[in-house]
Amino acid sequence: MSRPMGDSHRRFLQSMMSNGIIGASQAKALHKHCCETHGAHYAHDRLDEFIDVINTQLQPMFMNIRKGMSEEDGLQYYALVNMAETDVTRMASDYADNELELFRKTMDLIVDSESGSASSTDILNCADSLQTKKLKKKETEHVLNKFVQDKWLNEKHGEYTLSVRCIIEMEQYMRVIYQDLIKVCHVCHNIALQCQICENPRCGIKMHLPCVARYFKGRSEPHCPACNDFWPHEIPEILRSQSQGSQSLSSSAKENTAPTPSTSTTRRSKRS
Amino acid sequence: MSQRKKASASQSKSQQTNVNEDEMTLSQMTSSQVQRARENFSSVQIDRKVAEVVQFILVKDQKKIPVRRADIVKHVMKEYKVIYSEVMNRVRRTFEQVFGLKLEEIDTKNHIYILINKLEAGETVSMCPGNPKSGLLFVILSIIFMKGGVAKENLVWNTLKKLRVDSGEKHDEFSDVKKLVTDEFVRQKYLEYVKIPHTEPVEFEFRWGLRADIELSKLKLLEFVAELHDQDPQSWTQQFREASASESRT
């Protein structure tokens, strides 16, 4: 039997609805805040059970709070996802048809690429060949910005990648659409886009950069975990942001003693 | 998915009537007709329809757009409109039990709904201090309230100017301030922006919108203003009386 839902759960869900996605550390702070606001029993290590209670109630609504790892910083995030239409149509209410087509093309470019990213030049080029309605260069840039703002894409030095929210939400859709093109990470078994690839042609497994960092930590001679060939890539270091993440938790928890943890502080801390 | 579509499509053939006649059908159905219509749908189908309506309203509410019953019927309910009230009752229950939200009909003539937060009045999500837009809105609503419920446009713009928000200039955070205030806030039913009759050149005034009435505690607002002025809320006799009265109504 699942535990009944209380106001603490409802407040947590409301916050998830207005944020769309939050980092694990913010989720922990929010969990505490919600329990304390409504005088509910709070157990710091029971966040996932707390979320399960919400998910049981959300399931008939074809919604779900799901956990996923960011391909960039390796941190855990929680996203509220809609399972009714895992298709891109999920975004349909917010974007015009040609904007959605641009998003699909961008996704194609990213999935096809080795690096798991698409350059703004390539995206601008395919904006010329949209079938629904062509987008001018300026308009395309504007739409791309909107995708980044709405947390569907990430952008760094003119290179666009799929955001963690996008991957969590569209995982099913991507597996259906791209089938064999999609590979999963050998370590965490989630979709792998920005990753390193084993160069043995008979192997070719993929690993996320943060997963690589964690897997090879402290090993002098890295070998592929599947075929045991030498791993020829540079081993990234475990990102510092993990420790920073827990710091920002304590500070944001303090700042937000009053109402619901505000969106803007979390956004700001992410940008900086 | 495709099976479900087929099932509902075949149903739609037998049930199909003009959507525009919806008002008529809704009011003219007798209970036995509803009962018969009800039998055409399996409980799984009805569950699914409830979920779709919930999602539809949530998406609108994210942008704070009020939802019209006609739109719910036209875009989501479709052939299920014969059991409109049953579906809506379950939608209402879901909003309260799962989301802590209340589906409120703010316009009973045109059947317009909004979602309001049921968790602890006064500390609503919309008034979250981290959100600059709600900060601006809160200031404007305060001005109107302190002016006795109606404030001339110029007064509002001038007060905002003192806070370095100039309606004639592009603002860093709000970009087009005038559009935000007179268009977005009005569409969201936080504000009313109406022409003052017999003015030449034309002047406009602001009032509280229906959503503001429901979502905001006037007493909390007065306490906030009083704190700014370092005075007792009761020193504004008229405002205090109104705030207390509206508090006891809810």
Considering only residues B64 and B44, tell me which one the structure prediction assigns the higher pLDDT. B44
Amino acid code (one letter) for A217: K
DSSP A262: P
Structural domain A89-178, CATH architecture: Orthogonal Bundle (1.10)
How far is it, in rounded angstroms, from Cα B112 to Cα B57?
11
Over the stretch A132-179, which tens digit does the pLDDT of each residue have? 888 889 999 999 999 998 889 999 999 999 999 899 988 888 888 898
Per-residue pLDDT at B117: 79
Helix or strand holding residue B227 (H, E)? helix B218-229
State what percent of residues in chain B have pLDDT above 70: 82
Indicate yes or no: CB of B100 within 8 angstroms of CB of A259. no
> From the CA of A259, how many Å to the nearest CA of chain B?
7
Lowest mean pLDDT among A113-122, A260-269, B175-184, B189-198: A260-269
Secondary structure of residue B92 in the 3-state scheme: helix
| Average pLDDT of span B86-102 | 94
Q: Could you tell me if A13 lies within 8 Å of chain B, comparing CB atoms?
A: yes
Over the stretch A204-253, which tens digit does the pLDDT of each residue have? 999 999 999 989 888 888 999 999 999 989 888 876 554 444 433 333 33
pLDDT score of A27 more than 90: yes
Which residues touch A251 (CB under 8 Å, ≥6 apart)?
none
Which residues touch A237 (CB under 8 Å, ≥6 apart)?
A213
Secondary structure of residue B196 in the 3-state scheme: coil
Query: Which of B55, B120, B125 is nearest residue A18 as measured by Cβ atoms?
Result: B125
What is the CB neighbour count within 10 angstroms for residue A264? Answer: 13
- CATH number listed for the domain at residues A183-238: 3.30.40.10
Q: Rounded mean pLDDT of chain B?
A: 81
Per-residue pLDDT at A147: 92
pTM (2 decimals)? 0.72
Q: Which residues of B touch A5 (CB under 8 A)?
A: 97-98
Indicate yes or no: CB of B100 within 8 angstroms of CB of A10. yes
Q: Rounded mean pLDDT of chain A?
A: 82
Q: Which residues belong to CATH 3.30.40.10 in chain A?
A: 183-238
Q: Which residues belong to CATH 1.10.10.10 in chain A?
A: 89-178
Q: Which residue of B has its CA nearest to A16?
A: B99
Indicate yes or no: CB of A13 within 8 angstroms of CB of B99. yes
Distances (CA, A) of A219 to A189, A223, A242: 22, 9, 21
Place A198 in a pLDDT band, splitting at 50, 70 and 90.
very high
Q: Which residue of A has its CA nearest to B50?
A: A61
Q: Which residues of B touch A62 (CB under 8 A)?
A: 51, 55
> From the CA of B49, how many Å to the nearest CA of chain A?
10
Q: Could you tell me if A14 lies within 8 Å of chain B, comparing CB atoms?
A: yes
Q: Which residues of B touch A85 (CB under 8 A)?
A: none
Q: Does domain A7-82 have CATH number 3.40.50.10790?
A: no
Q: Which domains does chain B have, with CATH numbers?
A: 16-117 (1.10.10.1200), 132-216 (1.10.10.1210)
Q: Over A208-255, what HEC string results?
A: EHHHHHHHCCCCCCCECCCCCCECCCCCCCCCCHHHHHHHHHHHHHHH
